Structure formats: structure tokens, C-alpha cells
Chains A and B, each alone.
Chain A
Amino acid sequence: MSEETIRRSELMWGAIAAFGVGIMAAVIVVSSFAMAIHPPSNVETIDPTTLNTNSEFAESNLGTRVNPDGSVTVRIVATQFEFLPRCIPVPKDRQVTFRVTSPDVIHGFLIAGSNANTMVVPGYVAQLRTVFSSAGDHLMPCHEFCGLGHSEMWALVKVLDGAEWKPDASGKASCELPR
């Protein structure tokens, strides 16, 4: 084995490694370009210390709402140690926009069995859009440590299909957790 042979094999491996990087980069670019998938990144600020007096995240304004244009928005406050509201009905096969924020510490938002996932950082409104393609219940646990009650901080997302999806006259939909 000459030094030349070694050098050539190294170059070949260097090329293979570079090719590997290229493939990975291409997968990332193509997947985000073709499917327009982006991580939740809307950089929208909000004062966390006055959240309890904020009009958008007022208690009566939280939960699922059908907007005048037919789209659905869910507003959620993640706080120590609960999501408000704790039961969230959403329609199947329609785009749902989640807007979540925290008045106190960092929380996490994850709808198990879906790709809805974001950090909830005080000072920012985390926003994400998703479509649920099958009816059923999903657990929505807090996924970042927020204090001693963290493990008990979860909500339930109920994906409802046509007949079960019944928002009231004002466009609000709500559900109750089984006790």
C-alpha cells in the first residue's frame, strides 16, 4: 500500500462524505420548498406580565372559534400548571390555527400523534397551523419542564368529524373532560 493509494482512497471518501452532506441538505431544502413546511417562527411579541388583562387571551376568548371566513382558530394559555382550556374540540380536515402563549415560564405544546409542536415562551405568541385528517382524541401534554406540577399539565384535543363538530351561534366550540 503506497502513500499514493492511501491519498487516493481518502479523496474518494472525502467525496462520498461531501455527497452525503449534499443529499441531506437537498432533502431539507426540497422538503421545505415542495411541502412549504416551516417550523413555527412567527416572532410575535406579547407582554407576559399583563397577559391576564390582555384582550385576545382573555378567559372568555380562549378556546376554539370559527372565524367569519370559516377558518378555525384556537387560543390557548399555557400556565403553571394547566392549559386553558383543557379540552379542545377541532374539526377534521380543516385548517386549524393554534395561538399559544404563556404568562409565567416556558412551557411546551405538543399534540401527540401529530406534527403540531412548539415551544411556548413567555413574551411570544407561538402560532402554528395544522390539519387533522382523522377523527379521534389526542393527548396534548406540556413538554418542557415548568415546575413541580409539570407532569399533570396536559389537555385533550378532540378531532371531530362533520356530525359531531357543532360550534355555537357565535362560532365558539367547547368540550368537557370526562371526570
Chain B
Amino acid sequence: MSTDQDHRSSERRAEDRLWRFWVSIAAGTFVVVSLLVGLIVLPLRDEARFDPWGAICRAIGIRKDGSTVTKKSSDPPASSVTWSAGTRLALLGASPESGSTIVKETCAACHGETGVSVDPQQFPNLAGQTEEAIFKQLRDFQTGARVSDIMAPIAQTLTEAQTRDVAAYFAAQKRVEAVGSSPSASANIVELAHIGAPARGIPSCYSCHGQNRSGPEEAPVLFGQSASYIEDQLKKFASAERRNDMFARMRTITKQLSPEEMHGLAIYYGDGGAAKP
């Protein structure tokens, strides 16, 4: 009985070895042939001279040179703010307390001590604005990417760390809910704000400025600004008088908007979204 079992299990083992052998041969051959073709034969086909090593490198994505023609441009960028881990961590570490001191001395006269502007038509409300938006605009005033005779000299008095503290302070304040009168917005304006205009390639305002942040880092909150301030900025983007929007995002969009639409949208947002569906 026991020898019979031994015999059977040794038979099984021999059978297992056979399977292992042929499976290894089949899989190995397939892989080797595929790699030969994929790493050497096909890439060599594209080369004038015979260079198998170069072919392998190219095929797995190791570039020996930056073979592409790189056109250098000396233009100043739309904004020199870069959105990196460093920028974000520095913003996270900013101090609203020290921001508060700076605001009292430097910003409060126009933007109000808590970010509620003394004249929202001229000076935007900053209460509850995002840190990223305030920081970027201050930096752009400092570098001249955003031009303003009033703001440039003021912003230049701040260090980069101070701009972050100011941004953190304003971001922590309670947002102004509504400014100005409340004419109800037309259906076409509400659609632009919430659905966009695919025919003209205009994303909805909401997709970047809405409550779930989906778009660029620096997109500001619009609710709570005065309508005339918003309209003024839209027009400046449209005429490219203001051009610190990264990758020309707002210039591209406003180019597609009619003056009536800019006006309607400014009132819609400036009204605090009273007509929001």
C-alpha cells in the first residue's frame, strides 16, 4: 500500500516537473522574443545607423539628449508665482496674527480692518478671500506682473513672508455676503455662471470660482465683491490691460464674452448670488 502510494506520488512529481519545464520554456520564449522585437528590432528600424544599445535606451525611455529644438523666450511670465509644494506649505504655515498687525498698519485704510472695504467699487473686499488668491495678487503687484500705481508701492513694502501672513489673516475673516442691489439675473447669465458656453469654449464661472475648488489654485471667490469692481476687472482682462492671469486664462475667456455678458455676470456675482438657482 505504502509503496504503491510512493510510486504514485513520484509519478506525480515527475509530471509536475514536466509541466514546470514546458511552461517555463513557453513563457520564456514568448517574453524573450517579444522583448527582442520591442526593445531592439522595432527601435532600430527608425535609426539610420546600427546602434542596438541606443535603440534599447530609446525604447525604454532613456533620453540621451534633449534632442528637441528648444526655443528660448525672454518675455516676463504673466506671473512669477509658482504653485509648488514649497508655496503651499509656506502658505499653510503663515501667521494670521502677525498678518493682523500688518493689515492694521498697511491695508486697513482702504480694505478695512477685517477686510470689508471702505469703498468696494474701488478696493475689493478681502474678507474670506482665499489665501492663494491674495498671496498671488500681492506678489504680482510686487513684481509688476499686475500693474497698479496704488498697490505696487504698498505691496513692495512687504516681505514675501508678510504677504503670506496678510493673506492668511484676510482668509480667516468672515466673508461679506452681498453688496449692492439685487436685480434678478437673466437665464442666460445664470447659465454662463453655472453651465458655461461649450460652443464658445467658456467653462462655467463656477468650475473655477465655485464652492468645490476644481480649477486653478489662484482662482478667487467672487461672491462678496462689488459688481462694478468685477466688471472693471473683466474688461481689463478683455483688453489685456490686465495680464497677470497665468496661461492667459481670463484673457481667453473674456475675449469670448460680450460687454453685456460681462456686465450681467458682474451683477450676478456682485449681488452675492441672490439669484442663484
Contacts and interface: CB of A to CB of B under 8 A. Distances in A.
Q: Do A and B come from one complex?
A: yes
Interface of A: 29, 32-33, 36, 38, 41-44, 49-50, 52-53, 55-56, 58-61, 65, 67, 73, 75, 77, 79-82, 84, 86, 99, 103-104, 125, 127, 147-149, 151-155, 177, 179
A99 B68 CA distance: 10
B200 interface: yes
B252 interface: yes
B247 A29 contact: no
A86 B252 contact: yes
B247 A103 contact: yes
A58 B248 CA distance: 11
Nearest to A178: B200
A75 B70 CA distance: 10
Contacts of A73: 69, 71
A133 B212 CA distance: 44
B82 interface: yes
A75 B83 CA distance: 21
27 contacts: A29-B42, A32-B42, A44-B68, A49-B82, A49-B84, A50-B84, A52-B246, A53-B80, A55-B73, A58-B73, A59-B247, A59-B248, A73-B69, A79-B246, A80-B214, A80-B216, A80-B249, A81-B215, A82-B247, A86-B201, A104-B83, A147-B215, A149-B208, A149-B215, A151-B196, A151-B203, A154-B201
Contacts of B204: 148-149, 152
Interface of B: 37, 41-42, 45-46, 61-63, 66, 68-75, 77-85, 196-198, 200-204, 206-208, 210, 212, 214-216, 246-249, 252-253, 255-256
Interface SS, B side: loop
Instruction: Name the residue among B42, B70, B74, B201 with the largest chain A CB count within 10 angstroms.
Output: B201
A177 B207 CA distance: 22
Given A43-B63, A149-B208, A59 B77 contact: yes
A76 to B, nearest CB: 11
B201 A82 contact: yes
Interface SS, A side: mixed
Nearest to B69: A67
Contact of A147 (B79, B80, B201, B207): B207
A32 B43 CA distance: 10
Contacts of A127: 68
Contacts of B200: 177, 179
Instruction: Name the residue among B62, B196, B246 with the largest chain A CB count within 10 angstroms.
Output: B246
A58 B75 contact: yes
Given A52-B77, A67-B69, A84-B252, 16 more contacts: A33-B45, A38-B46, A43-B63, A49-B83, A55-B72, A59-B78, A59-B248, A73-B69, A77-B247, A82-B249, A148-B207, A148-B210, A149-B215, A151-B203, A152-B197, A152-B204
A135 B252 CA distance: 26
Contact of A56 (B70, B77, B208, B215): B70
B249 to A, nearest CB: 6
Instruction: Name the residue among A60, A80, A125, A177 with the largest chain B CB count within 10 angstroms.
Output: A80
B68 A60 contact: no
Contacts of A177: 200-201, 256
A50 B85 CA distance: 11
A81 B198 contact: no
B252 A148 contact: no
Contacts of B69: 67, 73
Nearest to B33: A25
B73 A80 contact: no
